[in-house]
Amino acid sequence: MAKSGLLSSSLAKKYAMAATGLFLCLFLVGHLVGNLQLFISGEAGREAFNVYAHFMVSNPAVKLLSYLTYLSILFHAVDGFVLTKLNRKARPVSYAVEKPSENSSWMSRNMMVLGTIMLVFIVVHMQNFWWQMHFGAMPIQVVDGVELHDLYTVVYAFFNPAESMALLSLALYVAAMFAVGFHLWHGFSSSFQSLGLRHAKYTPIIRFFGRAFAVVVPGLFAAVVVYIYLIQA
């Protein structure tokens, strides 16, 4: 009866969005654990953060995960663009008057806009730190005889108010975290719905957790950066 393969159907595209989206939520947690160490000031913080950063680029298991992350981001973004394009095609003539706010949240309707902001942010962000870490000229810290890239110092320098671009960077970073938060506000529980995981008892919990996640995680990311900026002011 049905000839379409798993990947070509509309539902399959949704499963892929949901699965990669949830995986990227895990990535955010991992990333956040590292960033929180930037709260620790002085040498202790510098060492803890750099050791963690070194572990993240050298451990083979983490490496595998990081490739999965890159793939997920890519897939999530491409799939998102494809879906948006198909969805636009499904309504070639738009309405003269629409009142979408009567029946749905702004976030749920603007996942593509929020996602695009995030994608731009990710590119800039990786250029600023990831590229620097892997290919740039980095200061070095030696811990237990191992030479570590001193990313801690690079981050602190990047958000040092003395830098002319620091305030702008800070503002853009915080703005991007808002985009992440809004995206997650809808995206987290939506992923469960797409995978068919809905239950009268558990769905409210998932929704609450998703919204808490959407506030707390990007909030902490932003807090770290604001802290770094303020403490050096």
Partner 1 sequence: MDFTLKIWRQEGPQAVGHMATYQVTDISDEMSFLEMIDVLNDQLVRSGDEPVAFDHDCREGICGMCSMFINGEAHGPNRLTTTCQLHMRSFKNGETITIEPWRAAAFPVIRDLVVDRSSMDRIIQSGGYVSVNTNGNTVDANALPIPKPAADEAFEAAVCIGCGACVATCKNASAMLFVAAKVSQLALLPQGQPERTARVEGMVEQMDLEGFGNCTNTGACEVECPMGISLDHIARMNRDYLTAKVANKG
Of 65-73, 104-112, 146-154, 169-177, the segment contacting partner 1 by CB under 8 A is 104-112
Residues near partner 1 (CB under 8 A), total: 43
CA of residue 103 relative to chain centroid, distance: 28
140-143 and 146-149 as β-strands: parallel, antiparallel, unpaired? antiparallel
For 194, residues 6+ apart whose C-beta sits below 8 A from its C-beta are 14, 15, 17, 18
Q: How far is the CB of 202 from partner 1 (least distance, A)?
A: 11
Q: Is the distance from CB of 102 to CB of 60 less than 8 angstroms?
A: no
Q: Could you give the string, one character per residue 133-172, with x where binding to partner 1 holds by CB under 8 A and - elsewhere?
A: ----------------------------------------
Q: How far is CA 86 from CA 81, 91, 106, 114, in A?
A: 9, 9, 20, 18
62 to 91, contacts with partner 1 by CB under 8 A? 83, 86-87, 89-91
Q: How far is the CB of 114 from partner 1 (least distance, A)?
A: 12
Q: Could you give the string, one character per residue 107-126, with x where binding to partner 1 holds by CB under 8 A and - elsewhere?
A: -xx-x---------------
100 binds partner 1 (CB under 8 A): yes
Using CA atoms, how far apart are residues 29 and 185, in angstroms rounded to an integer?
16
Instruction: Give the pair of three-digit tokens for residue 207.
Output: 């929704």
Residues in the site for partner 1, rule: CB under 8 A? 1-4, 6, 9-15, 83, 86-87, 89-100, 102-105, 108-109, 111, 186, 190, 193-198, 200
